């Protein structure tokens, strides 16, 4: 079984400032890691994912996350945020193999609010 901890429930920042949303996970097996984003009045959508290979993964809108196995972390970062990045961000994990590897375990979410 896996678990996910998102330490910050809310992160307010000013526009053009850098941001880091923290995610730590626990698992007894190898994992795949995901960040999903939920914009206001929309469903969750995949932002980026780590499956294998390079530990640094990037999204099309400037976010990046780095898989750190020794620290069991998958923090999400952006060097300069925009008002349009205001949303709730969910970190998720699943096992990379095994019979129930379709089952995602989600964190509680971090609400990122970007202020002008």
Residues near other proteins, by CB under 8 A: 4, 9, 32, 36, 41-46, 49, 51, 90, 92, 94, 100-109
Closer to other proteins by CB, 30 or 80: give it: 30
> Taking the complex as a whole, how short is the minimal distance between the CB of residue 66 and other proteins, in angstroms?
19
Closer to other proteins by CB, 36 or 81: give it: 36
> Taking the complex as a whole, how short is the minimal distance between the CB of residue 31 and other proteins, in angstroms?
12
> Taking the complex as a whole, how short is the minimal distance between the CB of residue 5 and other proteins, in angstroms?
10
Torsion 14-73-50-69 (CA) sign: positive
Closer to other proteins by CB, 74 or 90: give it: 90
| Dist CA 83 CA 68 (whole Å) | 29
> Taking the complex as a whole, how short is the minimal distance between the CB of residue 22 and other proteins, in angstroms?
15
Which of 92, 77, 88 has the alpha carbon at shortest distance from 22?
A: 77
Q: Report whether 37 contacts 89 (CB < 8 A).
A: yes
| Dist CA 51 CA 93 (whole Å) | 10
| Dist CA 83 CA 52 (whole Å) | 32
Closer to other proteins by CB, 46 or 83: give it: 46
């Amino acid at each position: 079984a896996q678990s996910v901890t998102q330490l910050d429930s809310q992160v307010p920042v000013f526009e053009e400032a850098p941001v880091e949303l923290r995610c730590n996970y626990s698992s007894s097996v190898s994992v795949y890691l995901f960040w999903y984003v939920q914009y206001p009045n929309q469903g969750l959508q995949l932002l980026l994912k780590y499956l294998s290979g390079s530990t640094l993964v990037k999204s099309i809108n400037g976010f990046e996350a780095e898989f750190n196995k020794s620290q069991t972390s998958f923090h999400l970062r952006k060097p300069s945020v925009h008002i349009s990045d205001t949303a709730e961000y969910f970190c998720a994990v699943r096992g990379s193999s095994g019979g129930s590897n379709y089952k995602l375990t989600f964190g509680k979410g971090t609400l990122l609010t970007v202020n002008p």
